[in-house]
Amino acid sequence: MTDTLSVQRLLPEWADQDGILLTWPHRHGAWAPMLAEVETVFLAIAREVTARERVLIACFDPDHQKQITTALTGAGIDLRRCTLVVAPSNDTWARDHGPITVARRGTPVLLDFAFNGWGGKYPYDLDNRVTATLYDAHAFGASSRESIDLVLEGGAIDTDGAGTLLTTASCMLSGTRNGAPTAQEIEVQFARRFGIERCLWLHHGRLAGDDTDGHVDTLARFCNRDTIAYAACDDPQDEHYRSLRAMRDELLAMRTSDGRPYRLVGLPLPSAIRNRAGVRLPATHANFLIINDAVLVPTYRGRTDALALERLQDCFPDREIVGIDCVPLIQQFGSLHCVTMQLPRGVLGDN
């Protein structure tokens, strides 16, 4: 390990957690036409999280806060495990507007990167302030926060917690976030902010309907330092077949920090799910969330659900694998991991 990594490092998702951040859907955003339906997904996530840790919920306003409290109570969720804070948002994708936590000399620090609506595709003024608003409300206990003038979404990166980061060129090198930087410039930022020693770049694998320019958390994920689960397509007639095969070949060529091939676990790509306009939605089982003692996995009421759960159980033998129906979530082009952000041990303190 380098001195940089020993001083500061990006924590892997499987590190012990205090809780999960949820930015609850509201009538002022894109979820308004199907608010009740999507709230069932958030309640399912909150139920599983609060059985093991805490949940921090960003509410749009005081009335919304009361409505969420009523919904949580009605669902039998332990309110003692829930902290509700007013922090207005444009949308619900906490993975991308929430804080990214690093351990600095063993102490958690919240890095508040800029968010610009995935390259200016959607309104983002409120989302870009959610973390700061929560921090000002003392939602993060005694944790410190640093505002960083670099556009970075949590869904764009994944780490093994030991100096290696996995990301996609289509997202991180896009011209709509940070002025079309070079890979070397981004790697300098990763080293400085996260203590990253190695960056593994994917150049293939974007899913139909994806509006993030190819977030890695829809494609390939570290399960531990030696294992990567990835979205796999075995149907030559599927529009994703060639791209995901090319991505698999990239993963096969990658090596661990000590020179060994990664153990690769293919998660079957769900059958096509389309919205009312006929647009294929980016359904993927790779958008799972690791929490204390469990892994929450998005399911889509299809034939691939059971196999994805089985394969992830093999990746996480010491954690319970829990399926969460995410068909409502995928209607807005995101899934389970996209609406959550883990808060590692020490972030919430005694809150």
Does 209 fall in a domain? yes
Residues 112-134 have pLDDT tens digits of 999 999 999 999 999 999 999 99
Residue 84: pLDDT band with limits 50, 70, 90: very high
pLDDT, residue 1, reads 42
DSSP string, 283-330: --TT--EEETTEEEEEE-SSTTHHHHHHHHHHH-TTSEEEEEE-HHHH
Residue with tokens 């840790």: 53
What pLDDT, on the 0 to 100 scale, is given for residue 166? Answer: 98
Asked if residue 87 belongs to a domain, the reply is yes
Q: What is the mean pLDDT of residues 209-222?
A: 98
pTM of the model as a whole: 0.97
* 111, 100 Cβ separation under 8 angstroms: yes
Token output for 105? 């000399």
Q: What is the pLDDT of residue 350?
A: 75
First-to-last CA distance in the chain?
Answer: 34
Asked if the model's pLDDT at residue 240 lies above 50, the reply is: yes
pLDDT of amino acid 182: 97
Q: What confidence score (pLDDT) does residue 257 get?
A: 94
How many structural domains does the chain have? Answer: 1
Residue 61: C-alpha distances to residues 27, 149, 258 (Å): 11, 27, 50
Instruction: Give percent above pLDDT 70 in the chain.
Output: 98
- Domain with 94, as residue range(s), is 3-344
> How many Å apart are CA 323 and CA 311, to the nearest integer?
13
Spatial distance between the Cα atoms of 96 and 337, rounded to a whole number of angstroms: 10
Q: What is the mean pLDDT of residues 193-212?
A: 97
Closest Cα to residue 304, out of 279, 319, 289, 326?
326
Q: Is pLDDT above 50 for 40?
A: yes
Residue with tokens 């351990």: 103
**Residues 260-315: tens digit of each pLDDT:** 999 999 999 999 999 999 999 999 999 999 999 999 999 999 999 999 999 999 99
Is the per-residue pLDDT at 165 higher than 70? yes
CA distance linking residue 279 with residue 222, whole number of Å: 29
Q: Is the dihedral of CA 74, 77, 79, 85 positive or negative?
A: negative
Q: Which two tokens stand for residue 295?
A: 């892994």
Q: What is the mean pLDDT of residues 159-184?
A: 96
CA–CA separation, 219 and 142 (whole Å): 35
* C-alpha–C-alpha distance, residues 312 and 135, integer Å: 34
Residue 20 phi/psi, 5° resolution? Answer: -130, 135
Answer yes or no: is 49 within a domain.
yes
pLDDT value of residue 349: 82
Task: Give pLDDT, residue 143.
Answer: 94
Whether 349 maps to a domain, the answer reads no
Residue 351 falls inside a structural domain: no
Rounded to an integer, the average pLDDT of 93-106 is 96
Q: Does any domain span residue 38? A: yes
Q: 350 in a domain, yes or no?
A: no
What is the tens place of the pLDDT at every residue in 1-24? 445 566 899 999 999 999 999 999
CATH number for position 252: 3.75.10.10
Q: Is 208 contained in some domain?
A: yes
